[in-house]
Structure 1
Amino acid sequence: MKPDEIKKLDAYFKRVINPQAIVKARPRKDDSAEVYLGDEFLGVVYIDDEDGDRSYNFSMAILEVDL
Structure 2
Amino acid sequence: MSAISASEIARLQVSLRRLLGSPALTVKAPPRAGLSVEIAVNEEVIGTVHRDEDEGEISYAIHITLLEEDLPPAK
| Common fold: TM-score over 0.5 | yes
Partner of 1:54, secondary structure, is strand
One-letter identity of the residue aligned with 2:43: D
Q: TM-score, normalised on structure 2?
A: 0.76
Q: Given residue 46 of structure 2, which amino acid in structure 1 is its aligned partner?
A: L
Return 5+ residue gaps in structure 1 as ranges.
none
Question: Alignment identity in percent?
Answer: 35
Residue of structure 2 aligned with 1:64, choices 53, 57, 68: 68
> What RMSD in Å do the two structures reach over aligned CA positions?
1.6
Cα separation, partners in 2 of 1:9 and 1:31, compared to 1, 3 Å: farther
Normalised to the residue count of structure 1, the TM-score between the two structures is 0.83
Give the length in aligned residue pairs: 66
Flag structure 2 segments of 5+ consecutive residues without an equivalent.
none
- Structure with bigger gyration radius: 2
Which region of structure 1 is more displaced relative to structure 2, 23-32 or 34-43?
A: 23-32
**Which amino acid letter does the alignment assign opposite residue 6 of structure 1?**
I
